Amino acid sequence: MNISRVLFRSFILVVDLLIAPAWSQLSALGHERAEAILEGVASDIRREYYDPKLHGLDWDAKVADAKARIAKASSWGAAMLEIAVLTDDLNDSHTIFVPALPPSRTDYGWKFQIVGDRCYVTHVRPKSDAEAKGLKPGDQVLTLDEVKASRANLPKINYSIEVLSPQANLHVGLKERSGSTHPVDVAASVKQPKVVRELDHPYGIDEQFYRLGWEDAVHRRRPRVAELGAEAMILKLPVFSLSESDVDKITSKARKHSTLILDLRDNPGGAVESLRHLLASVFDREVKIADQVMRLKTVPLATKISHRNSFSGKLIVLVDSSSSSAAELFARTVQIEKRGMVLGDRTSGLVMEAKYHSHGVGLPPVYYGTMITEADLVMTDGKSLEHTGVTPDETILPAPADLADGLDPALARAAELAGVKLTSEDAGKLFPYEWPAD
């Protein structure tokens, strides 16, 4: 049986409770709409995917197989599972199916991450069910809903619980720092918008729910700066969304310091233009980043015209297993061009260039989308980072005790290289973790 189908199925059941309860037992209309979504996704990929040969897959046969499985599906969630498996067969980190989701926000109350080759709890939200159930930073996560938590599986697990099927409860196989191993069920906090009937809310949903959620997300994704005297400035960048003027302001501030420490840990990537601007700010010349290998052509991707007032001091880049896409391209370009040092953990290896396509089917419409890779990115060393990632110049991993005590040895080491005395304890306090607003 397809491994992805087994993995995704472990997380799919809640969809039938949260997405269209009327279709839990899939009706003829439900089957019709599911098949229409399948055809829409398959058509998008045939038309837009960067590799017209689809890596040698017999795409028509795979689509026909998915259609046959959907015809036998007993629930909406099972039908969506088949489409997710179809897109996953491309083995492409940026080509994914985004099904119709309920208008809700799911907060699991705890975070987990790969450190080296193991998965650990990294943060636990105060007053959450996770805290009540005894989860603590530094505990090792062995399984999630019976699926092994590994570097290979974690991207699929995150897709399952964040995109394909947000969960009301996660069954966790946990190994405490003491060595004790046991299962624990952790409930998530699921917030639903108010249903309103006023004429100024034609979709029947309180728009403030979305507005406040968006504003909170924007706030948490802002760049944060810490200045350590004249020796160093630390820029913690949660996502690549900086405009050229934003980069200019940051560069102006960085030039007052001997070293710039750019913290790209937990950065999922973002806009290509932001990447180009930021890389240009640390070079005194135009630099080629990669070749964009597209469907019909190959185009060089380079920095923007170099800033006349670029930062010329020492550059140190921090990465971890959650550094993805543009964050990985930045770090690897710094390595190839010998512009600075990269410290931390091996990055995720999720590096392609993609575009989102939104669709609706039926009346009233069921909305869904596809994220489709438009280009592979081949670095100037002739290699792609996809499925490989960036290996740091110096590997520095937090120990379970560091996670438990909120210590940051990687940032402390970067400060040391900049000539600044900063303990792991003080480094861990510079940028406190920010939970989504209640």
pLDDT of 275 above 60? yes
pLDDT of 25 above 90? no
User: For residue range 140-170, what is the model confidence (pLDDT) as tens digits?
Assistant: 999 999 899 999 999 999 999 999 888 899 9
Q: In which order are the strands placed within the sheet that holds 224-228?
A: 224-228, 232-236, 259-263, 314-319, 341-344, 394-395
pTM of the model: 0.92
- Between 217 and 8, the more confident residue is 217
pLDDT of 19 above 70? no
Full set of structural domains in the chain with CATH: 3-91 (no CATH), 105-191 (2.30.42.10), 217-353+375-429 (3.90.226.10)
The secondary structure of 68-80 as a DSSP string is HHHHH-SSHHHHH
The secondary structure of 34-62 as a DSSP string is HHHHHHHHHHHHHHH-S-TTGGG--HHHH
User: For residue range 96-124, what is the model confidence (pLDDT) as tens digits?
Assistant: 999 987 677 899 999 999 999 999 999 99
pLDDT of 17 above 50? no
Residue 200 contacts residue 50 (beta carbons within 8 Å): no
pLDDT of 20 above 50? no
